[in-house]
């Protein structure tokens, strides 16, 4: 038995290294590593082909909600599969796509009444950008063609999404083929000399100044509401999003909320915009939409935006955009089943107690010599490690401190993936108290082990 399993691992590893090219992965490192090959999942655990169990401490890159292999979700897919796996949304409809659209319009911030499907966060962002651009065109207002984004923003990896991205490591190489966007500072309080209040002020005054002079050439502002994810789980100061939204409204610029990471309860509200009662003009959702099961994303628009496209065909105001698998019935069916579980299990309501436990457990890291800042909103956590706590001097990227901490966590039975020097903890919403307790123990132990050597206790 043991020999067969090992052989299987060796066979798969060899094939993996020969044929598979992984996203966001230096393959030279990967091929020199001991790759993790997942065979199955159950609850919030993932099991590899060698039979080892791991907590899914990052929700399989921020997607998973109810855990893996969930009977209710499996059943929703099987039932839909017995009817039809896919039919197009180009000029016709299917049942789950309609029912999910109604549901999404009801649970998203007020005013977002129209749902346009796609298949990933990045395509959802492309759609929002093109809709905002064409909205002004269709209204006969010329020149509003540019976008504002925030420093260190991440909106996905397609060219349009990268054009409104601002993470130099990921984006700079492509700069020559991107359209230029305005970039305002993100309020990163920990690394702002003036702290939170000044960081907030810089952001708002940069936005106000830009809008005062350039609003007539700006189509929209795109923002990751409340929590900027890929830059290192950076939480906005309270009031920031609301005030940014007000400035957009005042100067006639659309607001695009990219809720791909923050949506579906992650921050303790169904959507991050809900924390500050913000109703954007366009909103992008993905990741947790299907509970982490299938690739469905959506861009929601207000009636005001939709109506600018609603005209006689000859006027050429149609939104000429779509993807082969737009509105996929299997994906929409599982998204509906996921939302039903959200309600039945009161998952969003449950976040605050779970988040409180996590906060309490992680407080023991506060005084550790290499823990710079612990950032948390709901069940989105980022722990920034620093070489020097006093001066906040960062670790060099060559130190790979985040990678080392994640490797240690894996040895201890939990999966996560760092963002530079920031350790990420984004457990599935369905994680129970005992599981969160065990996962935070691993997190603490991994961080102490790699920053202080020898580990905790
Ligand atoms: C992950 C992410 C995206 C991209 O989604 P994909 O499904 O990976 O294309 C876009 N925006 C934000 C804020 C994200 O976190």
Indicate if 201 and 333 belong to the same structural domain: yes
Q: How many domains does the chain contain in total?
A: 2
From 261, 289, 377, mutation site for ligand 1 pocket: most ligand atoms within 8 A of C-beta:
261
Give distance in angstroms: CA of 63 to centre of ligand 1: 10
Indicate if 262 and 283 belong to the same structural domain: yes
Tell me the per-residue pLDDT of 399-423, one tens digit each, with 9 for 90 and over. Answer: 999 999 999 999 999 999 999 999 9
pLDDT at 457: 37
Indicate if 58 and 145 belong to the same structural domain: no
Say which residue the tokens 């996929």 belong to.
328
Tell me the per-residue pLDDT of 142-174, one tens digit each, with 9 for 90 and over. Answer: 999 999 999 999 999 999 999 999 999 888 899
Indicate if 292 and 376 belong to the same structural domain: no
Indicate if 97 and 203 belong to the same structural domain: yes
From 149, 154, 236, 426, mutation site for ligand 1 pocket: most ligand atoms within 8 A of C-beta:
154
CATH value at residue 185:
3.40.640.10
pLDDT at 453: 87
Indicate if 184 and 239 belong to the same structural domain: yes
Asked whether residue 455 carries a pLDDT value surpassing 90, the answer given is no
pLDDT at 369: 97
Answer whether 176's CB lies under 8 Å from 188's CB.
no
Indicate if 136 and 80 belong to the same structural domain: yes
Give distance in angstroms: CA of 122 to centre of ligand 1: 6
Q: Is 261 in the pocket of ligand 1 (CB under 6 A)?
A: yes
Percentage of the chain lying above the pLDDT 70 cut: 98
Q: Could you tell me if residue 12 is inside a domain?
A: no
Tell me the per-residue pLDDT of 63-106, one tens digit each, with 9 for 90 and over. Answer: 999 999 999 999 999 999 999 999 999 999 999 999 999 999 99
Answer whether 146's CB lies under 8 Å from 138's CB.
no
Quote the Cα angle for 109-110-116, to 5°.
Answer: 70
Q: Is 292 in the pocket of ligand 1 (CB under 6 A)?
A: no
User: Ligand 1: which atom is nearest the Cα of residue 259?
Assistant: 13
Indicate if 335 and 353 belong to the same structural domain: no
pLDDT at 3: 56
Q: Could you tell me if residue 16 is inside a domain?
A: no
Answer whether 108's CB lies under 8 Å from 280's CB.
no
Q: Is 88 exposed, middle or buried (0-12, 13-18, 19+ CB in 10 A)?
A: middle
């Amino acid at each position: 038995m043991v020999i067969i399993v090992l052989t299987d691992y060796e066979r798969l590893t060899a094939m993996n290294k020969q044929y598979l090219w992984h996203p966001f992965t230096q393959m030279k490192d990967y091929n020199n590593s001991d790759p993790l090959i997942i065979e199955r999942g159950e609850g919030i655990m993932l099991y590899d082909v060698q039979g080892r169990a791991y907590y899914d401490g990052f929700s399989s890159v921020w997607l998973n909600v109810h855990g893996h292999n969930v009977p209710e979700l499996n059943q929703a897919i099987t039932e839909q599969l017995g009817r039809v796996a896919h039919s197009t949304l180009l000029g016709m409809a299917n049942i789950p796509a309609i029912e999910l659209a109604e549901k999404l319009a009801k649970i998203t911030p007020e005013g977002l009444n129209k749902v346009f499907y796609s298949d990933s966060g990045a395509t959802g962002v492309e759609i929002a950008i093109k809709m905002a651009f064409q909205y002004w065109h269709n209204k006969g207002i010329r020149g509003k063609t540019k976008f504002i984004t925030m420093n260190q923003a991440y909106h996905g990896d397609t060219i349009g999404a990268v054009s409104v991205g601002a993470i130099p490591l990921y984006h700079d190489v492509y700069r020559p083929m991107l359209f230029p966007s305005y970039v305002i500072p993100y309020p990163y309080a920990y690394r702002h000399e003036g702290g939170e209040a000044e960081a907030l002020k810089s952001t708002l005054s940069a936005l106000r100044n830009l809008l005062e002079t350039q609003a007539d050439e700006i189509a929209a502002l795109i923002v990751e509401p409340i929590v900027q994810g890929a830059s290192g789980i950076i939480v906005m100061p309270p009031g920031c999003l609301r005030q940014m939204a007000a400035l957009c409204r005042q100067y006639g610029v659309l607001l695009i909320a990219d809720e791909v990471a923050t949506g579906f309860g992650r921050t303790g509200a169904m959507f991050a915009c809900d924390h500050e009662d913000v109703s954007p003009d366009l909103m992008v959702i993905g990741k947790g939409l299907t509970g982490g099961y299938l690739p469905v994303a959506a861009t929601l628009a207000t009636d005001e935006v939709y109506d600018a496209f609603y005209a006689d065909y000859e006027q050429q105001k149609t939104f000429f955009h779509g993807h082969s698998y737009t509105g996929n019935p299997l994906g929409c069916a599982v998204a509906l089943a996921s939302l039903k579980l959200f309600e039945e299990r009161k998952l969003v309501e449950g976040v605050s107690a779970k988040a409180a436990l996590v906060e309490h457990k992680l407080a023991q890291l506060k005084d550790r010599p290499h823990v710079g800042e612990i950032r948390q909103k709901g069940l989105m956590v980022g722990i920034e490690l620093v070489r020097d706590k006093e001066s906040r001097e960062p670790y060099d990227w060559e130190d790979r401190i985040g990678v080392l901490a994640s490797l240690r966590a894996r040895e201890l039975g939990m999966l996560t993936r760092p963002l530079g020097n920031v350790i990420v903890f984004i457990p599935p919403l369905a994680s129970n108290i005992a599981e969160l307790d065990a996962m935070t123990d691993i997190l603490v132990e991994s961080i102490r082990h790699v920053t202080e050597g020898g580990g905790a206790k």
